[in-house]
């Protein structure tokens, strides 16, 4: 427990005195977003008793603070805490306070019967609270019959674990003590300085941390397995860095891949930042229900599948490891060492780290082609950014309810792509110098977007960089660059805001870093006007309007230029091919382009060596089909096209589903085979292939571990359920829930949810009360049912009936704000009106409000496009051969 300093000097406070202190009324004004600087926390001492086997925990907390002016009320944070006592110590006097939570976001008031003087004060709290089921606050999970505990505090969930000033501007030191049942390991941000037995508990004490905001504090307790090593000294760091991988016992044999990879990535990041790792140790920790990862200083947390693997893991899993680990470790500098002042600048953390994740991941393992995924994520984000309902990357955040909306594809996908665009325009060396300048100026402190822009402009020696960056960061939307031929044989370019058919966004203008290419010749210019004359490089070949694919924009071309670019698509870089497919699909969705050109592009790209590029056009056609924009004749045409394009490739690559059959292959070749099989068995509906995969899967589920490689788990389980229906689904679910294998359990559950069988969907949703299912797994299964066309209505009926339960409580950044996305594949104006009428009032003021507006617009746009163009698009598909 927290020891009260100078306890002999403190007066005893009778309970009736505590109860008499006045409480604020509901109508009294209070900060619903950013706290003022009236109270400045200086230091925390946290003493928590954590037994994962129990439903709740207790805490004793001391906060050294500085009151800037006299006050009888202190506003701070604490959510769903049962407060036993709360006091303020000023000098030798202890003054009782009354704790009151003011709203469901966890704003609280600590009110005293007398006015506290300005100056130092020690706030003390004694409280109880509940553990969470999902990854928010302190959450627990039963793994293999044993309870484990983790923390996930971003964005505003530290307040569910301890009272405090839960916003990023308040960076202080934390001294953490965790009291646990004997035999359990405890992990926090700083090194453990020792442990001893007290009153039947093991007391783990940790060194005082370097300055941190509350959201980066970490607390993990359980019978963990650890694999320890160290990162050798580098030119930036003279001493070895202690490094551990920490996971549950079931994963003990698969920790070395993460250990060795983390060592290499740390060294690459130190070289980029020209700065040694900023904390005294690094723990890489996993949890089975963490849907992503979290950059707790010195104690990163990941979902099991991100770290738990061996050298024979499938290419996508290794790619995910490289990108995500590089992303989270980049945060140790960019986000932890230098932290945003408020949540409106969280984009800077996440956008930069997303870019760094792909960049450093590529440097770590070039053979995995990790870097190309950055552009894929950026182009995918354009679909969201093109909506009228939305937000800019740099979003003003006035209330706590708006914070979680910042953790979306705009921050990660668009933000990362914009960072890549600016870095490419500035040049890598100048951009890196700007980053180093920014980091050095704000070390262990806070900074804003303005500080970052200033550092970039100084490094670039180009004042145009600031307005260009701000035009993308501070404005919503995707630039559309329309190229027109001039009488002199050149081109003019008009910029406007891209819009889907029937949508009318406001006029917007950017400072667009345009880079074009012809042959080997490339030229770049900054477009700031609505209409611009473009100087093109002299070279051979078609005009490539987005050289390298790094530009965050879409383009429209004259018909002759579309056709020339498509004809030469095999000679495009992977990024350029992605940009071409994205712009061509966007042209179709805007009512200008045609699906026939997409099919021609699919034929050209199917042999492209970059696996991120090779299926982009084919998948764009599949998206049109999934939206319901084609009829049965069109679907048959799509199957013919996929069969024609991919059947010869399967013959060329071969297919053996057995475990390890292709373990010696280069990663890109192995990944290409997976993609070929997925398209043929999926959109191509190849009966023989589907039967072969299903047979191998049945053998695997019957006990033949060698019958099915991990690369085929997803498609194999789906084929098995498609053939065996509900009986196969029940077998698969039972095996999944009996397993803790992170390569098997989540994939098997997802396959059942995505089955498309109405019987399976009804059975799954009726069984969501099964205690073997974790909270996050229940959410994921509902998502799968809703995003699958044949079961969508079943899922929606369930969602409507259980919406209050689904949106109640704190689900953190991973679910509550994302729930409306589950409805995004409906396609009709009538359904959009229904969502607006029935769901909008129920999401008002909640983190999912923005996503609901986006979903309503998506559904309406899809319905409008189907009404206007279904016949024409279906006719094009029907002609595919």
Chain segment 214-250, per-residue pLDDT in tens: 999 999 999 999 999 999 999 999 999 999 999 999 9
Q: Is residue 680 scored above 50 in pLDDT?
A: yes
Angle between helices 849-878 and 632-653 (to 10 degrees): 80
Q: How far is CA 515 from the centre of its chain?
A: 29
Q: Which two tokens stand for residue 89?
A: 């110590």
3-state secondary structure of 617: helix
Provide mean pLDDT across the span 387-406.
Answer: 90
Give the C-alpha separation, 736 to 765, whole Å: 16
- For 691-719, write each residue's pLDDT tens digit: 999 999 999 999 999 999 999 999 999 99
Per-residue confidence (pLDDT) for residue 19, from 0 to 100: 33
- For 279-290, write each residue's pLDDT tens digit: 999 999 999 999
Give the confidence band of 375 by pLDDT, cuts at 50, 70, 90.
very high
C-beta of residue 665 within 8 angstroms of C-beta of residue 632? no
List Cβ neighbours of 771 (8 Å cut-off, separation of 6 or more).
none
Q: Which two tokens stand for residue 741?
A: 């294998």
What DSSP element (H or E) covers 227? strand 225-231
Residues pairing with 779 in the sheet: none
Return the sign of the alpha-carbon dihedral for residues 24, 29, 34, 39. negative
C-beta of residue 107 within 8 angstroms of C-beta of residue 214? no
- For 647-669, write each residue's pLDDT tens digit: 999 999 999 999 999 999 999 99
Give the confidence band of 805 by pLDDT, cuts at 50, 70, 90.
confident
Give the confidence band of 809 by pLDDT, cuts at 50, 70, 90.
low
Give the confidence band of 845 by pLDDT, cuts at 50, 70, 90.
confident
Give the confidence band of 17 by pLDDT, cuts at 50, 70, 90.
very low
Give the C-alpha separation, 32 to 400, whole Å: 6
- Percent of the chain's residues with pLDDT above 90: 83
C-beta of residue 683 within 8 angstroms of C-beta of residue 637? no
Q: Is residue 25 scored above 50 in pLDDT?
A: no
Architecture of domain 230-313: 2-Layer Sandwich (3.30)
- For 289-320, write each residue's pLDDT tens digit: 999 999 999 999 999 999 999 999 999 999 99
Q: Is residue 24 scored above 60 in pLDDT?
A: no
Give the C-alpha separation, 110 to 123, whole Å: 10
Phi, psi of 349 (to 5 degrees): -55, -60
Residue closest to 325 by CA, chosen among 276, 358, 367, 291? 358
List Cβ neighbours of 57 (8 Å cut-off, separation of 6 or more).
48, 49, 50, 51, 128, 129, 131, 138
Q: Is residue 481 scored above 90 in pLDDT?
A: yes
Residues in the chain: 881
Per-residue confidence (pLDDT) for residue 175, from 0 to 100: 98
Per-residue confidence (pLDDT) for residue 23, from 0 to 100: 41
Provide mean pLDDT across the span 539-543.
Answer: 87
- Percent of the chain's residues with pLDDT above 70: 96
Question: CB burial class (10 A; 0-12, 13-18, 19+) of residue 366?
Answer: exposed
Per-residue confidence (pLDDT) for residue 18, from 0 to 100: 33
Per-residue confidence (pLDDT) for residue 705, from 0 to 100: 94
Per-residue confidence (pLDDT) for residue 8, from 0 to 100: 30
Give the C-alpha separation, 625 to 366, whole Å: 34
Q: Is residue 11 scored above 80 in pLDDT?
A: no
Ordered DSSP codes for 387-442: SSS---SS----SGGGGGGGSSHIIIIIHHHHHHHHHHHH-HHHHHHHHHHHHHHT
C-beta of residue 764 within 8 angstroms of C-beta of residue 785? yes
Provide mean pLDDT across the span 36-40.
Answer: 94
Rounded to 10 degrees, the C-alpha dihedral 853/854/859/861 comes to: 110
Give the confidence band of 465 by pLDDT, cuts at 50, 70, 90.
confident
Provide mean pLDDT across the span 395-419.
Answer: 90
Question: Would you kindly state where each structural domain of the chain is located, as residue ranges?
Answer: 1-223, 230-313, 338-475, 478-502+512-626
**Which runs of consecutive H residues, i.e. helices, occur in 738-757?**
745-753
The rounded mean pLDDT for the chain is 92
C-beta of residue 761 within 8 angstroms of C-beta of residue 755? yes
Q: Is residue 810 scored above 70 in pLDDT?
A: no
Give the C-alpha separation, 69 to 75, whole Å: 13
- For 728-776, write each residue's pLDDT tens digit: 999 999 999 999 999 999 999 999 999 999 999 999 999 888 878 888 8
Per-residue confidence (pLDDT) for residue 16, from 0 to 100: 30
Give the C-alpha separation, 638 to 876, whole Å: 10
- For 181-195, write each residue's pLDDT tens digit: 999 999 999 999 998
**DSSP assignment, residue 546?**
S
Per-residue confidence (pLDDT) for residue 812, from 0 to 100: 58
Assigned CATH topology for domain 338-475: Neutral Protease; domain 2 (1.10.390)
3-state secondary structure of 794: helix
Give the confidence band of 801 by pLDDT, cuts at 50, 70, 90.
very high
Phi, psi of 157 (to 5 degrees): -110, 0
What DSSP element (H or E) covers 430? helix 428-441
Q: Which CATH class is domain 478-502+512-626?
A: mainly beta
**Which runs of consecutive H residues, i.e. helices, occur in 256-409?**
256-273, 304-307, 315-331, 346-364, 372-385, 409
Provide mean pLDDT across the span 412-426.
Answer: 90
Q: pTM score, two decimals?
A: 0.93
Q: Fold match between 338-475 and 478-502+512-626?
A: no
C-beta of residue 786 within 8 angstroms of C-beta of residue 822? yes
Per-residue confidence (pLDDT) for residue 866, from 0 to 100: 93
C-beta of residue 231 within 8 angstroms of C-beta of residue 239? no
Per-residue confidence (pLDDT) for residue 406, from 0 to 100: 85
Per-residue confidence (pLDDT) for residue 404, from 0 to 100: 85
Question: CB burial class (10 A; 0-12, 13-18, 19+) of residue 396?
Answer: exposed
| Of 586-600, 811-825, 840-854, highest mean pLDDT | 586-600
User: Which of 3.40.50.720, 3.40.30.10, 1.40.20.10, 2.60.40.1730 would CATH assign to domain 1-223?
Assistant: 2.60.40.1730
C-beta of residue 159 within 8 angstroms of C-beta of residue 63? no
Query: How many other CB atoms are found less than 10 A from the CB of residue 725?
Result: 14
Give the confidence band of 811 by pLDDT, cuts at 50, 70, 90.
low
């Amino acid at each position: 427990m927290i020891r009260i300093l100078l306890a002999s000097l403190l007066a005893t406070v009778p309970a009736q005195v505590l109860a008499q202190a006045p409480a604020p009324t509901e109508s009294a004004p209070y900060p619903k977003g950013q706290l003022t600087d009236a109270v400045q926390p200086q230091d925390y001492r946290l003493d928590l008793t954590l037994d994962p086997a129990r439903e709740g925990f207790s805490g004793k907390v001391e906060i050294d603070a500085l009151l800037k002016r006299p006050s009888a009320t202190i506003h701070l944070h604490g959510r769903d805490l049962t407060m036993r006592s709360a006091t303020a110590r000023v000098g030798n006097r202890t003054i009782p306070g009354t704790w009151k939570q003011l709203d469901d976001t966890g704003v609280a008031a600590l009110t005293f019967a007398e006015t506290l003087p300005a100056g130092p004060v020690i706030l003390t709290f004694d409280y109880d609270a509940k553990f969470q089921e999902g990854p928010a606050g302190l959450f627990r999970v039963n793994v293999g019959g044993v309870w484990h505990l983790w923390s996930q505090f971003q964005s505003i969930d530290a307040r569910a674990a301890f009272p405090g000033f839960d916003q990023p501007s308040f960076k202080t030191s934390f001294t953490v003590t965790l009291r646990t049942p004997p035999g359990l390991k405890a992990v926090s941000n700083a090194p453990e300085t020792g442990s001893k037995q007290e009153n039947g508990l093991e007391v783990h004490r940790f060194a005082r941390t370097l300055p941190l905001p509350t959201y980066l504090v970490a607390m993990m307790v359980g019978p963990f397995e650890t694999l320890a090593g160290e990162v050798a000294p580098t030119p930036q760091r003279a001493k070895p860095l202690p490094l551990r991988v920490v996971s549950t016992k079931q994963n003990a044999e698969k920790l070395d891949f993460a250990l060795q990879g983390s060592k290499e990535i740390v060294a690459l990041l130190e070289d980029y930042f020209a700065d040694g790792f900023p904390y005294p140790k690094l723990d890489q920790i996993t949890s089975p229900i963490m849907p992503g990862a979290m950059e707790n200083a010195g104690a990163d947390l990941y979902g099991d599948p991100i770290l738990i693997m061996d050298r024979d893991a499938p290419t996508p899993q290794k790619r995910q490891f490289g990108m995500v680990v590089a992303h989270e470790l980049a945060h140790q500098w960019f986000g932890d060492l230098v932290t945003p002042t408020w949540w409106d600048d969280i984009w800077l953390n996440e956008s930069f780290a997303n870019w760094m994740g792909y960049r450093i991941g590529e440097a770590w393992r070039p053979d995995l082609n990790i870097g190309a995924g950055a552009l894929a994520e950026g182009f995918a984000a354009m679909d969201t950014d093109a909506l009228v309902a939305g937000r800019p990357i740099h979003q003003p955040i006035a209330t706590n309810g708006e914070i979680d909306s910042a953790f979306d594809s705009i921050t990660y996908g668009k933000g990362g792509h914009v960072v890549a665009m600016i870095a490419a325009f500035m040049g890598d060396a100048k951009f890196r110098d700007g980053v180093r300048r920014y980091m050095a100026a704000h070390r262990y402190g806070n900074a804003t977007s303005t500080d970052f822009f200033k550092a970039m402009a100084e490094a670039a020696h180009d004042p145009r960089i600031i307005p260009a960056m701000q035009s993308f960061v501070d404005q919503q939307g995707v630039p559309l660059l329309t190229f027109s031929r001039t009488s002199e044989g050149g081109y003019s370019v008009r910029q406007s805001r891209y819009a889907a058919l029937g949508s009318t966004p406001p006029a917007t203008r950017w400072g667009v870093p345009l880079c074009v290419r012809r042959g080997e010749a490339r030229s770049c210019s900054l477009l700031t006007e609505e209409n611009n004359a473009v100087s093109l490089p002299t070279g051979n070949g078609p005009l490539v309007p987005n050289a390298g694919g790094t530009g965050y924009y879409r383009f429209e071309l004259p018909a002759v230029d579309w056709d020339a670019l498509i004809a030469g698509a095999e000679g495009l870089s992977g990024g350029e091919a992605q940009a071409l497919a994205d712009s061509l699909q966007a042209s179709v969705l805007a009512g200008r382009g045609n699906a026939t050109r997409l099919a021609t592009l699919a034929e050209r790209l199917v042999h492209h060596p970059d696996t991120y590029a090779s299926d982009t056009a084919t998948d764009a056609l599949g998206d049109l089909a999934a939206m319901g924009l084609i009829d049965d004749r069109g679907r048959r045409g799509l199957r013919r096209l996929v069969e024609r394009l991919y059947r010869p490739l399967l013959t060329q690559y071969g297919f053996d589903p057995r475990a390890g059959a292709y373990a010696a292959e280069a990663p890109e070749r192995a990944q290409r085979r997976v993609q070929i099989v997925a398209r043929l068995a999926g959109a191509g509906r190849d009966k023989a292939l589907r039967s072969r995969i299903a047979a191998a899967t049945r053998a695997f589920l019957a006990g033949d571990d060698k019958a099915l490689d991990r690369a085929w788990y997803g498609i194999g389980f789906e084929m098995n359920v498609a053939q065996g229906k509900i009986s196969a689904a029940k077998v698969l679910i039972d095996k999944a829930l009996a397993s803790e294998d992170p390569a098997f359990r989540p994939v098997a559950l997802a396959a059942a949810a995505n089955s498309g069988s109405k019987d399976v969907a009804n059975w799954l949703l009726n069984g969501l009360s099964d205690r073997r299912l974790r909270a996050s797994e229940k959410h994921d299964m509902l998502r799968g049912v809703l995003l699958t066309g044949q079961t969508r209505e079943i899922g929606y009926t369930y969602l409507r009936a259980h919406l209050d339960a689904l949106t109640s409580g704190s689900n953190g950044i991973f679910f509550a704000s994302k729930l409306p996305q589950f409805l995004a594949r409906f396609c009709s104006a009538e359904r959009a009106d229904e969502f607006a009428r029935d769901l909008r009032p129920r999401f008002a003021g909640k983190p999912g409000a923005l996503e609901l507006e986006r979903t309503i617009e998506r559904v309406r746009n899809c319905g409008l496009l189907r009404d206007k163009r279904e016949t024409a698009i279906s006719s094009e598909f029907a002609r595919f051969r």
